[in-house]
Amino acid sequence: MPVMANFETVLTHRDPSLLRVIVVALKAHGFHPLEDEFSGLPGLPGVSAPRGMGVQVPEAEAEDARALVDVLLAEMTR
């Protein structure tokens, strides 16, 4: 039986396009983010949560992933 990893949120943001790019970048750097759809709340496409949606990675990768996300976010929002 496979062991389920605990996941940790490394970024919460309101822009689904930015979140998609971050997920692709994390994968390209060898991380394993959850592949959630960033199109809105379940059953309510286009409606996002008030604080935005999150990018989650396995707990063991969270510290390194967060460092990469911080650099990428700074570059993307400047």
pLDDT in tens, the chain (78 residues): 555 679 999 999 988 889 999 999 999 999 999 876 654 555 655 556 667 788 999 999 999 999 999 999 999 988
Q: CA 1, CA 10: separation in Å to the nearest integer? A: 27
Q: CA 56, CA 50: separation in Å to the nearest integer? A: 18
The pLDDT score that the predictor gives to residue 40 is 53
Under DSSP, the state recorded for 75 is H
The pLDDT score that the predictor gives to residue 66 is 97
What predicted TM-score, i.e. pTM, was given to this entire model? 0.79
Under DSSP, the state recorded for 55 is E
Tokens in use for 75? 């570059």
Find, among 63, 68, 45, 69, the residue nearest to 8 by Cα. Answer: 63
Q: CA 72, CA 12: separation in Å to the nearest integer? A: 14
